[in-house]
Structure 1
């Protein structure tokens, strides 16, 4: 546990130092800009690492829920736990997030601490990290595009499409499979099972917000298309195909 505590502390300090460096390099930008750069970098790194651990290195979380932690799983969880501690502190200090996001952070932190303390169930928790974090780079990219005035472009449309697609397919669909494996397996702690269920409920709450956003965006596009179509029809010459008399 001493080595785990040291690794988490080093991770927290590393993310904090990186944030300070971004603030120094981007003095003309807001503190949120620097924090989201850290979040973007963490999302890319941890998605790659947790994806490798879950999909390639193993053990497979759907069949080995509750198995002992591997060293690589421990390193990945320590790295992301340090980030979540940093981000929770930043959100509380600047008061930028709502209760749902803060609850999500506290659930994530509690689950990773429990798994590291018990020495088992890292397989399913690392898989949860993967399906949760894979959409984070797209979410941050969307924010940056909005900040620089490039959100209402084709690139913004592509980012939104893949964000919604990956969220529904992996975070909701994949998360359901992981939760079922965790609850059905006898080895995981009941506390971890309850936390996993709570985390999935939070994901469902996020899904409702995303579906509302997607619905508003589709309706806006439909009304815009209908308006352009009506203008085009109204501008057509009423001459039955014959040239109007001069």
Structure 2
């Protein structure tokens, strides 16, 4: 555990150093812009490593939950634990996130700590990390588009649609399947199964928020199209009158 603690400390230092460098070289963009760049980098890195673990290095998470952690799984979890500690501290300091996101970060930190301390169930944690981080680049792209004034465009629509589709498929469909495999397997410990249930419930909390967002956006788009048709009809009637 000493080597793992040292690895987490080094990764935390690395994420803080990267953020500091971005702030020094890209200070005109502001703290949140640079923090989201760090978040984007972590999301891409975490997805690449955990995808390799799941599909190449193994074992397959749906058939081998509760197995001993491999060296690559430990590396992936240590890197992400350092990031989540950094981002949790940043969010608390700048007060940018609500209770749901803070709960997600807290559960992620505790879940990874539990997996590393037990020395098992690393493959499930990596699978959860993959499912949760695969939508992260899209979430950051949406924020960057808004900041640059390009959100109300085809790119913004594509990012939103792809985010919702990926979230529903990975967090709800695949995540639900993974949870069932976790619960029926005799290998994972009870506390790990409880953590899996908690993460899945939190995914549904996010799903409710996403559903509300999608409904509001569709209603806004419908009203905008309706107003455009009315305006076009008025212009057409004025043209006939002239």
TM over 0.5: same fold?
yes
Aligned to 2:70: 70
Mapped to 1, the partners of 2:106 and 2:59 lie a distance apart of: 26
User: Runs of 4 or more off by more than 4 Å in structure 1?
Assistant: none
Aligned to 1:185: 185
- For each residue in 1:25-81, what CA deviation from the matched residue of structure 2 results, as whole angstroms up to 9, or x when unmatched? 111122111111100110111111111111222101111000111111111111101
Aligned to 1:139: 139
More helix by share: 2
Aligned to 2:15: 15
In the alignment, is residue 38 of structure 1 matched against residue 64 of structure 2? no
Larger of the two Rg values belongs to structure: 1
> How many correspondences in the alignment?
242
Aligned to 2:109: 109
Secondary structure of residue in 2 paired with 1:187:
coil
Q: Note the aligned Cα RMSD (angstroms).
A: 1.6
- Structure 1, unpaired ranges of 5+: none
- For each residue in 1:204-230, what CA deviation from the matched residue of structure 2 results, as whole angstroms up to 9, or x when unmatched? 011101111111111111111111122
Q: Normalized against structure 2, the TM-score is what?
A: 0.96
Correspondence list, 1:208-219, <5 A: 208-219=208-219
Distance 1:229 1:112, change over 3 A: same
Larger CA deviation: 94-103 vs 129-138: 94-103
Mapped to 2, the partners of 1:56 and 1:234 lie a distance apart of: 62
Aligned to 1:227: 227
Mapped to 1, the partners of 2:28 and 2:76 lie a distance apart of: 33
Q: How far did 1:12 drift? A: 0.6
